């Protein structure tokens, strides 16, 4: 039996939350983005009124100011958006336990077994949209289809405050007249090369011989594109509970006092935490260093980050500061650990990686993680964690922790 997947996407999420908090902003061009004084900041979210001026996500703030001088510019309040996201997740949980948050403001739900609780799937969609609007004062768009990809495309075609359901079996007919760029994997470059061959619509993709597509984008890319054009996609919902924190710690086989030895071990633990964080699609806003001394006294040193991150480089920088505090006490150390807390779902990618250097890091981390996924964490060590003393770590006990307690 075919499944029914509901894709929900909040409309102009950050801008809508700001408006819900401050209703006098309603109907105004709201532009939410990083730090207003920072020339490199980019737009994270723009209200539909601001979009009329041509303002878009990921556009530099300076450019948005030129396009929309009367716009109201608001810095990001990541903590608040994360809270609203969690409350929305709780609303979705009233419909089905099969929920996969795709980002801070998007989710996929398997509603196959829940439709009978409502009159039909349309009534279910209205219930979800209404509950969010009543409780959070923001609007959402819902698409329903037999798989995640088609449900998301359906939602994207009826934003904002929309609802569209594609009957099972009608996926191909629904996609055929749409522009090729609706398909996953078709970015500006692929679109351009397809359009240069006169392939503008999904229907035209299906009419193109596969070898010709393979010539443009490789045989794997062509196969994926054809599958997508036919409306084939995954209907698997990977449910998970957001952990409260992610931590790694190490107990030394004998108590140690030399902080020069601890540093590479701590960096390694931080990298392991960050890897776990990224594989769960999360970011952290708080880094804690834990030190247990030989007298079993435990001290923690914590710092809050200005914005959520999943980048090793940012976490190691924060940790370095904490280490300089931690080494203050002249005592032998039994155990050291790193803890990442105040977790949230991945926020807007461009906003997070708006600095060129971080973008480079993000690319590196993605390829490092891919290798680690295949060969295990130890297959790749980054420079910062490679100290000559890391072998001490091997003789010690290590503990992984994913704290899911509510
Ligand atoms: Mg959205």
pLDDT of residue 36: 53
Rounded mean pLDDT of 362-373?
Answer: 70
CA 92–ligand 1 middle distance (angstroms): 16
Fold of 245-403: Dna Ligase; domain 1 (3.30.1490)
pLDDT tens-digit readout, 100-129: 998 899 999 999 999 999 999 999 999 999
Question: Does residue 29 carry a pLDDT above 90?
Answer: yes
In this prediction the pTM is 0.69
Domain boundaries, the chain: 10-147+155-163, 173-229, 245-403
CA 153–ligand 1 middle distance (angstroms): 13
CA 41–ligand 1 middle distance (angstroms): 20
**pLDDT-based confidence at residue 313 (cuts at 50, 70, 90):** confident
Residue 179: strand, helix, or coil:
strand
pLDDT of residue 103: 87
CA 396–ligand 1 middle distance (angstroms): 45
Q: H/E element holding 345?
A: strand 333-345
Task: Tell me, rounded to whole angstroms, the distance of Cα 301 from its chain centroid.
Answer: 27
Question: Does residue 32 carry a pLDDT above 90?
Answer: yes
Of residues 336 and 391, which shows the higher confidence score? 336
Q: How far is CA 211 from CA 217, 222, 253, 295, in A?
A: 10, 8, 60, 70
pLDDT of residue 356: 44
**pLDDT-based confidence at residue 335 (cuts at 50, 70, 90):** very high
CA 76–ligand 1 middle distance (angstroms): 15
Question: Does residue 390 carry a pLDDT above 50?
Answer: no
pLDDT tens-digit readout, 318-332: 999 999 988 888 889
pLDDT of residue 404: 58
Residue 230: strand, helix, or coil:
coil
The architecture of the domain spanning 10-147+155-163 is 3-Layer(aba) Sandwich (3.40)
Rounded mean pLDDT of 269-287?
Answer: 89
Question: Does residue 357 carry a pLDDT above 50?
Answer: no
Residue 397: strand, helix, or coil:
strand
pLDDT tens-digit readout, 40-86: 788 999 999 999 999 998 888 989 999 999 999 999 888 899 899 99
Looking at 3.20.20.80, 3.40.50.9100, 3.30.1490.100, 1.10.150.20, the CATH number of the domain 173-229 comes to 1.10.150.20
What percent of the chain has a predicted confidence (pLDDT) above 90? 61
Are 64 and 107 within 8 A, CB to CB?
no
**pLDDT-based confidence at residue 406 (cuts at 50, 70, 90):** very low
**Residue 339 and residue 249: Cα distance in Å, rounded?**
8
pLDDT of residue 113: 92
Q: Examine the residue annotation and report whether 133 is marked as an active-site residue of this protein.
A: no
Question: Does residue 384 carry a pLDDT above 60?
Answer: no
Three-class SS string for 242-260? Answer: CCCEEEEEEEEEEEECCHH
Instruction: Select which of 18, 106, 136, 263 is catalytic.
Output: 106
Phi and psi, residue 242, nearest 5°: -70, 125
CA 151–ligand 1 middle distance (angstroms): 14
């Amino acid at each position: 039996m075919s499944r029914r997947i509901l894709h929900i996407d909040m409309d102009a999420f950050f801008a809508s939350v700001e408006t819900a908090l401050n209703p006098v902003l309603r109907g105004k061009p709201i532009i939410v983005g990083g730090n207003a004084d920072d020339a490199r900041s980019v737009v994270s979210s723009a209200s539909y009124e601001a979009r009329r001026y041509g303002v878009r996500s990921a556009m530099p703030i300076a450019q948005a100011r030129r396009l929309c001088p009367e716009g109201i510019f608001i810095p990001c309040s990541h903590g608040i958006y994360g809270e609203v996201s969690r409350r929305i997740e709780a609303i979705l949980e009233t419909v089905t336990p099969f929920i996969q948050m795709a980002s801070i403001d998007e989710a996929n739900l398997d509603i196959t077994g829940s439709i009978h609780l409502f009159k039909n799937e349309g009534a279910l969609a209205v219930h979800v949209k209404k509950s969010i609007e009543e409780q959070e004062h923001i609007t959402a768009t819902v698409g329903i289809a037999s798989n995640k990809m088609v449900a998301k495309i359906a939602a994207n075609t009826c934003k904002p405050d929309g609802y569209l359901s594609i009957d099972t079996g009608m996926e191909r007919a629904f996609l055929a007249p749409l522009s090729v760029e609706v398909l996953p994997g078709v970015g500006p470059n692929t679109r351009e090369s397809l359009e240069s061959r006169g392939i503008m619509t999904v229907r035209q993709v299906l009419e193109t011989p596969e070898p010709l597509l393979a010539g443009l984008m490789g045989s794997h890319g062509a196969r994926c594109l054809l599958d997508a054009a036919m409306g084939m996609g995954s209907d698997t919902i990977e449910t998970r509970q957001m952990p409260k924190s992610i931590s790694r710690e190490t107990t030394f086989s004998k108590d140690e006092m030399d902080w020069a030895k601890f540093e590479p071990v701590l960096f390694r633990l931080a990298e392991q935490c960050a890897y776990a964080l990224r594989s769960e699609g999360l970011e952290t806003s708080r880094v804690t260093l834990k030190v247990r001394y030989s007298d079993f006294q435990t001290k923690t040193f914590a710092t809050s980050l200005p914005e959520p991150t999943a980048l090793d480089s940012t976490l190691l920088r924060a940790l370095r500061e904490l280490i300089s505090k931690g080494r203050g006490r002249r005592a032998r150390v039994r155990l050291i650990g790193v803890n990442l807390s105040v977790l949230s779902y991945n926020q807007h990618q461009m906003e997070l990686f708006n600095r060129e250097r971080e973008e480079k890091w993000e690319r590196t981390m993605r390829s490092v993680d891919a290798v680690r996924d295949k060969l295990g964490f130890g297959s790749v060590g980054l420079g910062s964690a490679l100290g000559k003393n890391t072998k001490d770590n091997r003789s010690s006990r290590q503990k992984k922790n994913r704290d899911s307690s509510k």
